[in-house]
C-alpha cells in the first residue's frame, strides 16, 4: 500500500492562508491533491485544521482534522503524519507499506514522479527517499555561533567541526540539500523512528526548474509566472 499524506494547515507565517490561496486560478493544495489522485497512490489523506481545505480534500480522499496541538508553527511534520496515518487506518499497516509526504508548497510535481519515488523505495534497499537539489554553499565552509561574544561580535566555530575555508570548492565532495518535493519512507521505519528520513536514505534528484518551495511572496510570484507561461494546471505539468 502507498499512502500519500498532504499536510495543509490553515496558518502560515509568511504567506497568510497560502494552502488555499489561488495559484493560477486553483487553490494551492489542489495542485498536490490532483497530482496524487493521478498517481498510483492507494490512499490520499489531507491533514488540516481548516474547514475549507478539508472540504476540498474530501473530493480526493481522506480529510483528517488536525488537532490544535499539531497545527502550530512549531509543530513537527512527523507528528501530524503519524496522526493522519493512524486516523485513516487504526488497525495499523504492513511493515513494507509506504508513506509519501507531499507538501502543497511544492505544487509542480507530476503524478509520474510521485509513482517513481514509491517505486524506488520498493526497488532499492533503502528505508526512505529524500528529494534533493545540489547546494551551492558547502557546509564545510559554514560556521555557527557558540553563544559567546568576543568584544561585540559572536564567537564562531566550524559548522561541521572541520573547516575547509582555504580549500577550493571543486575539491570538496558533492553536497545535496533537501528539496521538500517528494519524500517517502517505509511506514514501519517511520513509526519506529518518528521521522521521514530513517537510514539508509536514497537521494532522489528533484527537477531543478520545478522544485519550488513557496515560502515568501517572491516565490509565489515566480510560481504564478511559471504556471501561466507554460500553461500548467493541477495534474497537467509538462
**Torsion (CA) 170, 213, 15, 79 in degrees, nearest 10:** -110
Query: Distance between CA atoms of 53 and 69, rounded to whole angstroms?
Result: 18
Task: Calculate mean pLDDT across residues 98-112.
Answer: 98
DSSP secondary structure string for all residues of 120-136: HHHHSS-SEEEEEEE-S
Task: Please give the Cα distance from 83 to 13 (Å, whole number).
Answer: 23
Of all residues in the chain, what percent carry a pLDDT higher than 70?
100
Residue 225 pLDDT > 80: yes
Asked if the model's pLDDT at residue 79 lies above 90, the reply is yes
Please check the confidence at residue 95 and state whether its pLDDT lies above 90. Answer: no
Distance CA 133, CA 46 (A): 26
Structure confidence by residue, pLDDT tens digits, 130-183? 999 998 888 888 999 999 999 899 999 998 877 788 788 778 888 999 999 999
Lowest mean pLDDT among 112-116, 117-121, 148-152, 229-233: 148-152
**Sign of the Cα pseudo-torsion (199, 205, 210, 212, in order):** positive
CB atoms under 10 Å from CB of 181, counted, come to 27
Q: Alpha-carbon distance 169 to 71, whole Å?
A: 41
Query: Burial code of 35-71, b = ≥16 C-beta within 10 A, e = fewer?
Result: bbbbbebebbbbbbbbeebbebbeebbbbbebeeebb
Per-residue pLDDT at 172: 86
pLDDT at residue 183 in the model: 98
What whole-number percentage of the chain has pLDDT above 90? 82
pLDDT for 136: 82
Reported pTM: 0.92
Q: Using omega within 30 degrees of 0 as the cis cutoff, is the peptide bond preceding 200 cis?
A: yes
Q: Across-strand partners of 128?
A: 185, 201
pLDDT band at 21 (very low <50, low <70, confident <90, very high): very high
- Which of 146-160, 182-196, 221-235 shows the lowest per-residue confidence on average (mean pLDDT)? 146-160
Domains of the chain by start residue, with CATH:
2-135+176-230 (3.90.550.10), 136-174 (no CATH)
Quick check: 40 pLDDT over 80? yes
For residues 150 and 100, what is the distance between their CA atoms, to the nearest angstrom?
A: 46
Decide: residue 105, CB within 10 A, 0-12 exposed, 13-18 middle, 19+ buried: buried
The secondary structure of residue 236, as a DSSP letter, is B
Chain length of the chain: 238
**Is pLDDT at 217 greater than 90 in this prediction?**
yes
Residue 89, pLDDT score: 92
Could you give the dihedral angle defined by the CA atoms of residues 65, 117, 219 and 60, in that order, rounded to the nearest 10 degrees? -40
Cell of 189: 521505519
The mean per-residue pLDDT over the stretch 43-48 comes to 98
Work out the average pLDDT over 14-32: 96
Residue 214: pLDDT above 90?
Answer: yes
- The stretch 65-86 carries a mean pLDDT of 95
Least confident of 23-37, 106-120, 166-180: 166-180
Above 90 in pLDDT, residue 106?
yes
pLDDT bucket at 195, cuts 50 / 70 / 90: very high
Amino acid at each position: 500500500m502507498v499512502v500519500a499524506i498532504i499536510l495543509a494547515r490553515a496558518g502560515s507565517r509568511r504567506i497568510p492562508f497560502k494552502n488555499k490561496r489561488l495559484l493560477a486560478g486553483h487553490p494551492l493544495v489542489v495542485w498536490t491533491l490532483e497530482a496524487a489522485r493521478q498517481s498510483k497512490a492507494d490512499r490520499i489523506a489531507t491533514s488540516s485544521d481548516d474547514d475549507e481545505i478539508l472540504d476540498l480534500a474530501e473530493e480526493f480522499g481522506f480529510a483528517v482534522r488536525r488537532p490544535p496541538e499539531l497545527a502550530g508553527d512549531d509543530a513537527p511534520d512527523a507528528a501530524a503524519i503519524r496522526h493522519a496515518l493512524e486516523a485513516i487506518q487504526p488497525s495499523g499497516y504492513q511493515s513494507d507499506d509506504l508513506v509519501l509526504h507531499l507538501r502543497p508548497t511544492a505544487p509542480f510535481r507530476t503524478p509520474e514522479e510521485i509513482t517513481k519515488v514509491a517505486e524506488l523505495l520498493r526497488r532499492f534497499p533503502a528505508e526512505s527517499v529524500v528529494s534533493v537539489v545540489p547546494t551551492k554553499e558547502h557546509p564545510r565552509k559554514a560556521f555557527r555561533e557558540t553563544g559567546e561574544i568576543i568584544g561585540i561580535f559572536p564567537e564562531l566555530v566550524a559548522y561541521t567541526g572541520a573547516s575547509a575555508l582555504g580549500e577550493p570548492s571543486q575539491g570538496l565532495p558533492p553536497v545535496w540539500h533537501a528539496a521538500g518535493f517528494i519524500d517517502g519512507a517505509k511506514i514501519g521505519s517511520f513509526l519506529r523512528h518518528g521521522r521521514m528520513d530513517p537510514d539508509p536514505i536514497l537521494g532522489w534528484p528533484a527537477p531543478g526548474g520545478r522544485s519550488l518551495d513557496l515560502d515568501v511572496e517572491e516565490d509565489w510570484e515566480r510560481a504564478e509566472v511559471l504556471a501561466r507561461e507554460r500553461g500548467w494546471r493541477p495534474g497537467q505539468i509538462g
